[in-house]
Structure 1
Amino acid sequence: MTDFDKIRPYLDTEVNGALQKLKRHPMIKALMSFAFPEKKLGEIEEIVDECHSIKDFQSRVIYFAVRNVIEKSSEGFSTSGFEKLEPDTSYLFISNHRDIILDTSLLNYTLHDHGLVMTASAIGDNLVQKPFLLALSKLNRNFLIRRGLSPREMLMASKNVSEYIRQLLGSEKRSVWIAQREGRTKDGNDQTQQGVLKMLALADTENDLPAYFKKLKVVPVSISYEFDPTDVLKMPELMAKHYDVEYVKTNNEDFNSILKGALGQKKRMHIAVGDVLDEELDMIAEKEEKANKQLQMLAEVIDKNIYGSYKLWPSNYIAYDLLNGEDTYKAKYTAREKRQFERRIERRVERDNEVALKNFLAMYANPVINKLKYFGE
Structure 2
Amino acid sequence: MSKFDEIRSFHDHEVNEALAGIARDPMMKALMGFTFPDTDEQVWLEQFKNVHSIKDFQHNFIAFTIRQILAKSSEGLTTSGFDLLDKNTPYLFISNHRDIVLDTSLLNLVLLETGHIMTASAIGDNLVQKSFLHVLAKLNRNFLVQRGLPLREQLQSSRLMSEYIEQILHHENHSVWIAQREGRTKDGNDATQQGVLKMLAMAAGDIPLADYFKTLKIVPVSISYEYDPTDSLKMPQLLAQHREEEYIKGKNEDFTTMLSGVLGQKKRIHLHAGNVLDAELDDIAANSENKNKQLQAIAQIIDDSIIQNYKLWPTKFIAYDLLHNTDTYADQYTEQEKQLFVRRLEMRIDPSDAISKDYFLAMYANPLVNKIKSEQKLPD
Q: Matched residue of 1:365: which SS? A: helix
More moved, 350-359 vs 235-244: 350-359
Give the match for residue 134 of structure 1: 134
Give the match for residue 115 of structure 2: 115
1:293 pairs with 2:309: no
Give the match for residue 237 of structure 2: 237
| Per-residue CA distance 1:256-295 (angstroms, 9 max, x = gap) | 1111100101111111111101111111011023001111
Q: How is 1:275-354 mapped onto 2 (pairs within 5 angstroms)?
A: 275-354=275-354
1:10, 1:135 → 2: CA distance? 9
TM-score by length of 2: 0.98
Q: Matched residue of 2:163: which SS? A: helix
1:88 pairs with 2:88: yes
1:69 pairs with 2:69: yes
1:131, 1:73 → 2: CA distance? 27
Change (3 A) 1:323 1:289: farther
TM-score by length of 1: 0.99
Give the match for residue 25 of structure 2: 25
The offset of 1:32, in angstroms, is 1.1
The offset of 1:348, in angstroms, is 1.3
Unpaired runs of 5+ residues, structure 2, are: none
Give the match for residue 371 of structure 1: 371
- Confirm or deny: 8 A CA contact 1:47 1:60 kept in the other structure: no
| Per-residue CA distance 1:132-164 (angstroms, 9 max, x = gap) | 010000000000010111110000000000000
1:77, 1:163 → 2: CA distance? 33
Q: Matched residue of 1:235: which SS? A: helix
- Confirm or deny: 8 A CA contact 1:214 1:277 kept in the other structure: yes
1:332, 1:208 → 2: CA distance? 46
The offset of 1:207, in angstroms, is 4.6
Give the match for residue 125 of structure 2: 125
- Confirm or deny: 8 A CA contact 1:98 1:184 kept in the other structure: yes
Give the match for residue 267 of structure 1: 267
User: After the TM superposition, which parts of structure 1 deviate over 2 Å for at least 4 consecutive aligned residues?
Assistant: none
Give the match for residue 180 of structure 2: 180
1:56, 1:64 → 2: CA distance? 12
1:40 pairs with 2:40: yes
Q: Matched residue of 2:79: which SS? A: strand
2:177, 2:242 → 1: CA distance? 30
The offset of 1:376, in angstroms, is 4.1
Q: In angstroms, what is the RMSD of aligned CA positions?
A: 1.0
| Per-residue CA distance 1:184-231 (angstroms, 9 max, x = gap) | 000110100000000000111125111111000000001010000000
1:327, 1:209 → 2: CA distance? 47
Residue type at the aligned position of 1:77: L
1:88, 1:181 → 2: CA distance? 27
Instruction: Give aligned-pair identity as a percent.
Output: 58
Residue type at the aligned position of 1:58: Q
Residue type at the aligned position of 2:16: N
- Confirm or deny: 8 A CA contact 1:90 1:173 kept in the other structure: yes
